[in-house]
Chains A and B, each alone.
Chain A
Amino acid sequence: AQSVTQPDIHITVSEGASLELRCNYSYGATPYLFWYVQSPGQGLQLLLKYFSGDTLVQGIKGFEAEFKRSQSSFNLRKPSVHWSDAAEYFCAVGAYNNDMRFGAGTRLTVKP
């Protein structure tokens, strides 16, 4: 069964600093991988997704993620964090014709 691990429950970065949120997955076949962002009390917004092809995917709001099959990872990055990026970030894994499994989430705090 597929599963997702986000090792960092909470991360604090200074505004303007770079960010990397970790995600490791377990899945028997080629996974489809997603990153979602959730602001407090809000729904889930898709940041980016990986299905196949180029392992470095670009998303909205300046985010990118890199799929590394050898490490079973799909880490999310942003070169310069803005205060408005403070939110909860969820990594998810899915497969064709299948439901999705979400990680526990990483809460991002941005210091001024």
Chain B
Amino acid sequence: EPEVTQTPSHQVTQMGQEVILRCVPISNHLYFYWYRQILGQKVEFLVSFYNNEISEKSEIFDDQFSVERPDGSNFTLKIRSTKLEDSAMYFCASRTAGTTQYFGPGTRLLVL
């Protein structure tokens, strides 16, 4: 069965550094999402992406965040200057025209 994959599985970075989290959605999916889960808290929506542009974003998704689909397979989340509070698990998801989103395994980001 096709899966959403994410790399790296874990990333440790210094505060103020830029990080790029990578996702490979399922190949025929057209809608892409990033979610965040701070340790012990609920999963929070960050941003949705369709037709090469952001469809919707939450208040969490400020100017420090950006998303890109640089080629036909990858979907990336960039954090320009990481803060301690960006430490979280980041989930990528994708879907077709139906509403079931398939989630990746997540990238655990630790900002020191």
- Which positions in A face B, CB cutoff 8 Å? 32, 34, 36, 41-44, 46, 49, 51, 90, 92, 94-105
Of listed B35, B45, B99, B103, residue having the most chain A CB within 10 A: B99
CA distance A53 to B85 in the complex (A): 42
Chain A binding surface SS class: loop
Q: How many A-B pairs with Cβ below 8 Å?
A: 48
Contact: B100 with A49, CB < 8 Å?
yes
Of listed A46, A51, A99, A101, residue having the most chain B CB within 10 A: A99
Contact: B33 with A42, CB < 8 Å?
no
- Some 14 contacts from A to B, beta carbons below 8 A apart, are A36-B103, A43-B103, A44-B103, A49-B100, A51-B99, A90-B42, A92-B43, A96-B99, A97-B31, A99-B48, A100-B33, A100-B45, A100-B101, A101-B45
- Which positions in B face A, CB cutoff 8 Å? 31, 33, 35, 41-45, 48, 56, 91, 99-106, 108
CA distance A51 to B97 in the complex (A): 13
CA distance A42 to B37 in the complex (A): 11
On chain B, the residues within 8 Å of A90 by CB distance are 42-43
On chain A, the residues within 8 Å of B43 by CB distance are 44, 90, 92, 102
In whole Å, how far is A84's beta carbon from the nearest beta carbon of chain B? Answer: 19
Cβ-defined partner of B41 (8 Å) among A51, A98, A100, A104: A104
On chain A, the residues within 8 Å of B108 by CB distance are 41
In whole Å, how far is B98's beta carbon from the nearest beta carbon of chain A? Answer: 8
Minimal Cβ-Cβ distance residue in A for B103: A44
On chain B, the residues within 8 Å of A34 by CB distance are 100
On chain B, the residues within 8 Å of A95 by CB distance are 99
Contact: B56 with A43, CB < 8 Å?
no
Cβ-defined partner of B106 (8 Å) among A43, A94, A96: A43
On chain A, the residues within 8 Å of B91 by CB distance are 43-44
4 more A-B residue pairs beyond the given contacts A43-B103, A94-B101, with a C-beta to C-beta distance below 8 A: A42-B105, A51-B99, A94-B99, A97-B31
